[in-house]
Amino acid sequence: MDIKGKIIQKMEPVGGVSKAGNQWKKQEYVLETLDSYPKKVKFDFFGDRADQFPLEVGDVITLSYDIESREFNGRWYTDIRGFKAMKEDPNMAAAAPAPYPPAAGAPAPAPAPEGMPAPPPVDNTFDQGGAGDDLPF
């Protein structure tokens, strides 16, 4: 699964030695989605991936992840485990088109490129109703 967002927090790396005597390392982050109603998601990179994907606060990324759950002492714990992070180009976000047309009174749009037809003019007048209006309200 994939999720896109901005890194808003980077925790201190955690590591240790397992019961089997193997070294382990985990790096945790908090990502905030870029949705209309942003959500915060805590995820981690475990093992070699902790060093493979160095992220910093402010990075906009697309995170590929798996969700894992495990039971310990009768309770269940769920982790969001990242396996790949692709940093987005910050210049691409600035070049994205506006989601809404400009408001009335805004400057006129740039002329169409050579060889392309110009867009039709926008009629911003509003009919206030009158004798020709047959609506009942």
Has residue 129 got a pLDDT over 60? no
Cβ proximity of 92 and 34 under 8 Å: no
pLDDT at 94 over 60: no
pLDDT for residue 108: 62
Q: Where are the alpha helices (DSSP H) in the chain?
A: 49-52, 90-94
Flag whether 111 is in a domain. Answer: no
Q: CA 50, CA 29: separation in Å to the nearest integer? A: 11
Q: What are phi and psi of 73, to 5 degrees?
A: 55, 45
Which domain does 67 fall in, by range? Answer: 2-90
Strand spans (E) along 73-123: 75-87
CB 68 within 8 A of CB 81: yes
| Position 122 in a domain | no
Identify the pLDDT of residue 34: 92
- Please tell me the distance from the alpha carbon of residue 31 to that of residue 132, in angstroms, as a whole number: 56
Are 57 and 8 within 8 A, CB to CB?
A: yes
Is the residue at 107 inside a domain?
A: no
- Give pTM, 2 decimals: 0.62
Q: List the CATH number of the domain containing 23.
A: 2.40.50.140
Determine, yes or no, domain membership for 72.
yes
Residue 98, domain member (yes or no): no
Q: How many domains does the chain have?
A: 1
- pLDDT, tens digit, for every residue of 96-115? 555 555 555 556 666 666 66
pLDDT band at 119 (very low <50, low <70, confident <90, very high): low
Q: Tell me, yes or no, whether 47 lies in a domain.
A: yes
